[in-house]
Structures are given as structure tokens and as C-alpha cells.
Amino acid sequence: MSIGQSSRLRVLVVGESWIKHTTHIKGFDQFQTTEYEEGAELFLNSLGTSDFDVTYIRAHEVSNRFPTTSDEIDEFDVVVLSDIGANSFLLCDETFLRSEQTINRLGLLADYVENGGGLVMVGGYMSFSGIDGRARYGMSPLAAALPVEMLDHDDRMEVPEGIVATIDMPEHPVLGGTPADWPMLLGYNQVKAKAGSTIVARLGKDPLLVVGHFGSGNTVAFASDLAPHWAPPEFTNWSYYPQLWSSVIGWAGGQ
């Protein structure tokens, strides 16, 4: 994947949105409310301070807006997936609602990376294997492209007392010169680094930030979150938060 004449990386961010349907029970009576929420605001705002052209596809928009051809996905230099499971790509409207044959969007994404595109997966309840194993990326075509191996069951490591990253390679360019004393995190997805990939940071003995290559493309796995609850205010308000994510995406995009 070659960057165009402009030095600005074209970034596609997918996920980090959800709908809550709540039942309120008040004695004899009950009623329901529905809310739509997004968790990507701080992350997207941080990218707005950098030289990126960002397109955001919310979780419920994947079926209609995620690229379905190589020409469409080649419009981007880096794709970022955060807290959105494999089913959102594999069970789009054509297949799930109408039983029609269609492109495997995760297969298309894996081919895109192999041909030079950048890929970043950020952790969450619907990343990697995910809660109850429902994210299911280890069973998808994208598993080959990621720099980590995924568990075959619920991979969440909840750490309510907080855990601070250990930076194994503080000089690695994916960190962009950010300091090694990170704020605490409150949980992560447990993954295993693939042979040939590089563990840049850990949480305890488990990988946190892993980088690698698939074909001609660069791949990054960040096993914790970019937003609450695993990423508390101490992390999202960290003065180096924008620099860290700009460096991660820049490295994935070959800058």
C-alpha cells in the first residue's frame, strides 16, 4: 500500500460505538429506554491534531459503509479496528438478512494488509477473542494478518486495582518517543505474540503492544482499550495520549 503524493495518512477507524436498551423496573411498573453512545471521541480528536485524514465508520454502519472492493479499501493507508467483533463484518445484511453471496470483508482486509496496508487492532470486549469468546477474530481470515495469536475462549483480564505497562523497547519508533511511565490501565485482552513479531510493551507477563508484518503490510496489536472502561481518565487525559496514538498509526502506515 503506497502513500499518495500527500504526506497525510488516510486512516479508516471502525468500531467504538454501541446501543444500550435498558429495562427500568420500579415496583409494579417497568419501561424501556434506548441510548446510542460512542467511545471514540477522545481518540478521534487526538488524531485531529496530527497529519491524518480520518474516516470513521461506526459499528452499526459496517454493513453499508465498510469497503467491499480492493479499490475502495486501497483508498486508505491504515485501518484501525476497535471494540467491534468479527460478526459485524462476516454477517452483513446481504448474507444475514437475504442469504446472498458477498465479499468476506475480513478476507478483503487481510489481503489489503498483505499487499501493503497498515492494520491496528485495539483491545476491548469485542476485540481479539473478546467477552465469552464472541469477538471471534481467531476464527476469521484476519487472524493470519494480526501479529498475535488469540485464545479460544474469553480472553479478558480484568484488573480493577489497576496495572501499569512495562515498556520493553522504549526506543521503538511505534512509541514515537513517548515516556516509559504510562498511566495505569484497568484491563486488557490476553494474547500471545506470534513468532517473528516484536513485543514493545507488556502488562505483567502478557503482551500489551505488539508489532509485526504480514506480507508487505505493518500490523499492530494494542491489547487494552483506547477509551473507558479499561482506559481510565488517567490514561485518556495523559498528555502523551495523542502522541502515542499518532505514532502507532504512523508506524502502521509506514511513516
pLDDT tens digits, one per residue of 213-249: 999 999 999 999 999 999 999 999 999 999 999 999 9
- Of 50, 55, 52, which Cα lies nearest the Cα of 66? 55
pLDDT digits (tens, 9 = 90+) for 155-200: 999 999 999 999 999 999 999 999 999 999 999 999 999 999 999 9
Q: What is the C-alpha to C-alpha distance for residues 38 and 19, in angstroms, rounded to an integer? A: 9
Query: How high is the pLDDT of residue 126?
Result: 98
Count CA atoms closer than 13 A to 46's CA, side-chain side. Answer: 23
Residue 5 has pLDDT above 50, yes or no: no
Model pLDDT, residue 48: 78
* Residue whose C-alpha is closest to residue 220's, from 238, 241, 244: 244
Q: What is the structure's pLDDT at 6?
A: 53
pLDDT tens track for 11-44:
999 999 999 999 999 999 999 999 999 999 999 9
What is the band of 1 on the pLDDT scale with cuts at 50, 70, 90?
very low
Looking at the chain, list the stretches that DSSP marks H as alpha helix, in order from N- to C-terminal side. Answer: 41-47, 62-65, 70-73, 87-90, 93-96, 105-114, 233-236, 241-252
| Cell, residue 211 | 508489532
pLDDT in tens, 42-78: 999 988 777 899 999 999 999 999 999 999 999 999 9
- At 4 the pLDDT is 45
pLDDT of residue 51: 82
Radius of gyration, CA atoms only, the chain: 18
Domain architecture of the chain: domains with CATH:
9-252 (3.40.50.880)
Tell me which H or E stretch contains 19: strand 17-26
With a cut of 70, say whether residue 2 has pLDDT above it. no
Around Cβ 196, how many Cβ atoms within 10 Å? 8
β-pairing, 9-15 vs 78-82, is parallel
Round to whole Å and give the CA distance between 249 and 252.
Answer: 5
Sign of CA dihedral 231, 224, 182, 50: negative
